Amino acid sequence: MKHIKEILAAASVLIATGAVGTAHAETTLYTSATRGGRLSCIAVNVSKKTLTITMSIIDGTGNEPTVLAGPTQIATGPGLEASLDLGQFTDSSSEGYCAFQVSGTGNRDDVRAVLISNKATTQTLPDNSTFPYFITRTLEAH
């Protein structure tokens, strides 16, 4: 009987510790840096529970890390997305990367996240004619 009480006490401690660890589970994902007039961080919750996703766009020039946009915290239900944008398509280019801090899970596979950079501009040719063009890049977070 004494051993059963000890086993139950040990199990209770493990269950309580596991519950605390689950409540505080977090994971952080980052993209590579890129340049663009508009930088957009997008995260999709592919889990079956609501996650809190905190996004920031950080200066990617290699200097002291400076937050360019955010942090923005969004409670994101299953199958929904959270996003954070910086700039407009025709703005001069900024260089940055996305940081996604995900609370409510320690499993990186519960979120799909990307940085999309866009730039709309024109090019002048040697004959002085110009043509517009649009560049877009998509970088996956890991």
Query: For the segment 89-141, what is each residue's pLDDT rounded down to a tens digit?
Result: 888 888 999 999 999 998 999 999 999 999 998 889 999 999 898 999 999 99
Structural domain includes residue 3: no
| Domain range enclosing 50 | 25-140
Angle at 82 between CA 78 and CA 83, to 5 degrees: 160
Residue 12 lies in a domain: no
- Is 115 within a domain? yes
Does a structural domain hold residue 111? yes
Q: Say if CB 44 and CB 102 are below 8 A apart.
A: no
Q: Give the number of domains in the chain.
A: 1
The residues with which 65 forms a beta bridge, in sequence order, are none
- Does the structure show a pLDDT above 80 at 5? no
pLDDT, one tens digit per residue, over 39-81 is 999 999 999 999 999 999 999 887 778 899 989 999 999 999 9
Query: Interior CA angle at 123 toward 120 and 124, to 5°?
Result: 150
pTM as predicted: 0.75
CATH of the domain at 102: 2.60.290
Q: Is residue 7 part of a domain?
A: no
Kindly give, in sequence order, each residue whose CB lies less than 8 Å from that of residue 92, ignoring residues fewer than 6 positions away: 37
Q: Is residue 92 part of a domain?
A: yes
How much of the chain exceeds pLDDT 90, in percent? 61
